[in-house]
Structure 1
Amino acid sequence: MSITSGRHSSRVESSSTLRHAADEPGSDQKGDSDSGPLDMIRLTLSWLFLFVAVGLLAAVVVVPRLAGATPYTIMTSSMRPHMPPGTLVVARTADPAQVHTGDVITYQLRSGQADVVTHRVVGVGQDGRGERLFTTKGDNNPTTDPAPVRAVQVRGKVWYSVPYIGYLNQVITGRQHVIAVYVVAGLLLAYAVFMVLSSARDRRRARRERRRETA
């Protein structure tokens, strides 16, 4: 009887163990299936953030610097709706002969002074000496600007604009641009390396888990 009892007990324990072992992979698999999409979403959002940050850095600092262009910030509502306050505009030097009606230009209010305005050209003419003159107007203004703009006042023709990023350009000026490039580029590079290593680690961990389940 004791032998029969022992065999019976052994069978029960073995069956229980098998059931427990059969349950565990299922629960692990369910956990993996639950966390898989979340990990993918997290990874996608992380890379999206990285690309957006790199794009903004390029638009504000890198591209203007490489192209010899100058970034400016729209501070008033005169160019709404396409260029609201806070818009970053990047202007490239342009031959006055290549500036035409419909172009958006950045020009000095008075020749040789730092204050500039970005408005649209609505008319092109000449003075008595043959100098090219531009009539300008803010898209949101009811009337044209009071004085024509001389060619010597034109700082550039707007190349591209990025809404609301101009405030960042106001914060980092002069040598701070160069420092910002190295600092932000270093941080983004470190973040990219971290994401690559983290993704590779997660894949190795998933492969080990699959091998352990099939062993």
Structure 2
Amino acid sequence: MKPALGWAGRILLWMIIFGCCAILALAVLIPRIGGATPYTIMTGSMRPSLPPGTLAVIRPTPVTSIGVGTVITYQLRSGDPTVATHRVVAQGVNSRHQVLLRTKGDANDTVDAGWVQPVQVKGTLWYAIPYLGYPARLLTGQQHRYLTYLAAVVLLGYAGYMFGSAVRDRRRARRQQEPAARTGQDVT
């Protein structure tokens, strides 16, 4: 019974390790490689598709490639770091022939006030992960980076320990079998 529990424990731990690596990859590595930016959805304006606490990964997209129905993240006022993530419900063109976008939250009854200018658009929704936004929001950029490095070191250290344990166990099993093989005895 004990060996079965040992294997079950190892499988569970490896599943946790792979799950943590997948979460880190989705929340940090893939956005960084893809030039995207993760944002946390803080309000219920995009329910049910993007409830509060969702980590929304936004990648830069030319405004000319954005159509009606696309979810975008944009600055509420040009130059202001405060952003909103809403769906494009209409397009227009200003006197300088620039594309303008009208947005609305999926859960809102009315469209957002004012047109979104091209300079305000941060990008379009690439992918979203429910509930992962809250833990990411608790950490500052520097803390997030250090925690990511620490998690990577811990996971690699644990993987090294598991690999070393497996090698040690195999060597021990071989040593136990060698004397029995020389004397012709059955080890089982």
Class of the TM-score when normalised by the shorter of the 2 chains: 0.7 to 0.9
Further displaced range: 189-198 or 103-112: 189-198
- Closer, same or farther: CA 77–199 of 1 in aligned 2, 3 Å: farther
For 1:145, which of 112, 117, 123 is the aligned residue? 112
1:76-155 aligned at under 5 Å gives the runs 76-155=43-122
Aligned pair count reads 182
CA distance in 2, matches of 1:197, 1:139: 52
Displacement after TM superposition at 1:172 (Å): 2.5
1:43 aligns with 2:15: no
Which of these residues, 40, 47, 61, is aligned with residue 73 of structure 1? 40
SS in 2 for 1:65: helix
Aligned identity (percent) is 47
SS at match of 1:48: helix
TM-score, with length taken from structure 2: 0.86
Q: How does 1:49-60 map to 2 (within 5 A)?
A: 49-60=16-27
Q: Work out the CA distance in 2 between the residues paired with 1:82 and 1:210.
A: 60
Gaps of 5+ in 1: 1-33
> What are the equivalent positions in structure 2 for 1:182-193 lying under 5 Å apart?
182-193=149-160
* Cα distance in 1 between the residues matched to 2:152 and 2:162: 15
SS of match in other structure, 2:56: strand
The match for 1:7 is none
Q: TM-score, normalised by structure 1?
A: 0.76
Distance 1:38 1:205 in 2: 20
Partner of 2:143: 176
The root-mean-square deviation of aligned C-alpha atoms, in Å, is 2.2
Task: Please state how far the C-alpha of 1:203 moved relative to its aligned partner.
Answer: 5.1
3-state DSSP class of the match of 1:214? Answer: coil
* Structure 1: distance between partners of 2:5 and 2:174: 18
CA offsets per residue over residues 81-138 of structure 1, 9 Å max, x none? 1211111111111110011112111000001101000111122221233221111111
Shift in Å, 1:171: 2.3
Deviations 1:3-24 (A, max 9, x none): xxxxxxxxxxxxxxxxxxxxxx
The structure that is helix-richer by fraction is 1
Which whole-Å CA distance do the structure 2 matches of 1:178 and 1:186 have between them?
Answer: 12
Taking a change above 3 Å as real, the CA distance of residues 42 and 203 of structure 1, as seen in their structure-2 partners, is farther
Query: Does the residue aligned with 1:130 lie in a helix, a strand or coil?
Result: coil
Between the aligned partners of 2:23 and 2:9, the Cα distance in structure 1 is 21
